[in-house]
Amino acid sequence: MGLHPAFEQIHQERIPEVNSLATLYKHLRTGAEILSLENDDENKVFGITFRTPAPDSTGLPHIMEHSVLCGSRKYPVKEPFIELAKGSLNTFLNAMTYPDKTCYPVASQNLQDFYNLIDVYLDAVFYPNITPHTLQQEGWHYEIDDPDAPLTFKGVVFNEMKGAYSSADDLLDQESQARLYPDITYGVDSGGDPVHIPDLTYAQFKAFHQTFYHPSNARIYFYGDDDPARRLELLDAYLNQFNAIQVPSAIPLQPLFDRPRRAVAPYEASPEDTRSLLTVSWMLPEAADAELAIGLSILDHILIGSPASPLRKALIDSGLGEDLTGRGLDLGYRQPFYSVGMKGVAPENTLRVEQLILDSLAALARDGIDPATVSASLNTVEFRLRELNTGRFPRGLAIMLGALETWLYDGDPFDSLRINPPLESIKARLARGERYFEALLHAHLVENLHRSTVVLEPDPDLARRRAEAETDRLAQIKAAMSPAEIQ
């Protein structure tokens, strides 16, 4: 007999690497999947994640993440999230939007507080009070102080993303991703582009919640020393109110490029800003292999993880820019990516930086990587994986985010937890004299044609042009309004 009749146990395994008994369940009525980790950690973690591919750059997933925490059926106060932040004993309380998922995690060392947080979050995601006013407040709305004054756009996410789009580093990050995945959801901005956020309608907003915020599209996670049977009991109280549906949330694969691509875009700069930024990014194979994921993590550290790392050293010593930029290795995508570049580059030197990156990688793959560098990076990454020293960030939450790297794409959530077999395999390859990291480097970076270079150039006039375009758009909207609508 299982722990609860509403759930089917799919797989159970003791995983020494995270000192846990891990069990994967499926809710029979809805198909919701639950990963339950039992251990002696008193800092208990709960998270519910939905796959939320953005259809466009209106910021729908981001605005929804804000909005569901603005009151629900059972907790109809204006901002339960703020009240919890003030009065709860939580050790973590937040929500996060990613390019293809939205996560709602909480953590607490107090059992009753933990149960209360779970109840508030489950009610919030499944039964939010998302009215037209919620969209206006959290997303965007028109504002006017006087009938004769000009209209303006306002809204929590609109204002936040205006700030992000005026930051060269944030813009480079977004452009690098968009150019690497032009044909799928990763090519749009799930956070929202300020130009497109005001295109979002309430009907689209409401439909997005009805489509994606359903148990059939949920991955639910527990971690800690609380009662595993009680976890399922708490969940079923919510899940049994739904029936299974087909949710169109699968993330498609980006078709491969037949040649590398290059793009140049402007960024908002002051007259004193004369420097460019650039990244070179590669799309990597679908994340289905734990050994490849760990191998790439070690390769990332070999290349740029320390001041002595060969790629970092080549770029810094060149004097062609001020510092490195790019995200390095990001495994949080169905097809992960690797990105590295420089900021503070004279515009005439961007091609030299791009070539230096490509030449440095080719030389390392051809001539070999210093064994001492390989050993140091392997030890560092292994220590990091085993210790999982997350500081104030709950350990259980880091484990959840790792599991989602495969689980979100219908892979095995246990893969990222079982770190011993892939590490031992990599060590055995190295002991046999294999050029393991050189081969990874050659296959996934040097010979990989799915590569995109993005250069951001300073444009002192861009902020003014954007402001004028927004002013003209609002003037046309106001001109079409009746006096009653303006009032």
Give catalytic residues, as residue numbers: 65, 138
Written as six digits, the tokens of 317 are: 């010593």
Q: Which residue has the tokens 């407040």?
A: 137
Contacts of 35 (CB under 8 A, 6+ apart): 22, 23, 24, 219, 220, 221, 222, 400, 403, 407, 413
DSSP states along 157-213: HHHHHHHHHT-HHHHHHHHHHHHHSTTSGGGS-TT--TTTGGG--HHHHHHHHHHHS
**For 343, phi and psi rounded to 5 degrees?**
-120, 165
Instruction: Report d(CA 70, CA 83) in Å as an integer.
Output: 11
CA nearest neighbour of 415 among 438, 385, 436: 385
Q: What does DSSP say about strands 141-143 and 90-93: parallel, antiparallel, or unpaired?
A: unpaired
Instruction: Report d(CA 394, CA 386) in Å as an integer.
Output: 15
**For 45, phi and psi rounded to 5 degrees?**
-130, 140
Amino acid (one-letter) located at 417: L
Q: Is 400 exposed, middle or buried (0-12, 13-18, 19+ CB in 10 A)?
A: buried
CA nearest neighbour of 192 among 256, 114, 254, 139: 139
Amino acid (one-letter) located at 473: R
Alpha carbon distances (Å) from 154 to 2, 197, 205, 209, 337: 51, 11, 17, 22, 34
Q: Which residue has the tokens 């005026």?
A: 166
DSSP states along 231-268: HHHHHHHHHTT--------PPPPPPPPSS-EEEEEEEE
Alpha carbon distances (Å) from 261 to 174, 281, 453: 16, 10, 6
Alpha carbon distances (Å) from 27 to 9, 20, 237, 262, 291: 9, 22, 12, 46, 30
The total of other beta-carbon atoms located within 10 Å of residue 383's CB is 11
CA nearest neighbour of 406 among 300, 326, 333, 314: 333
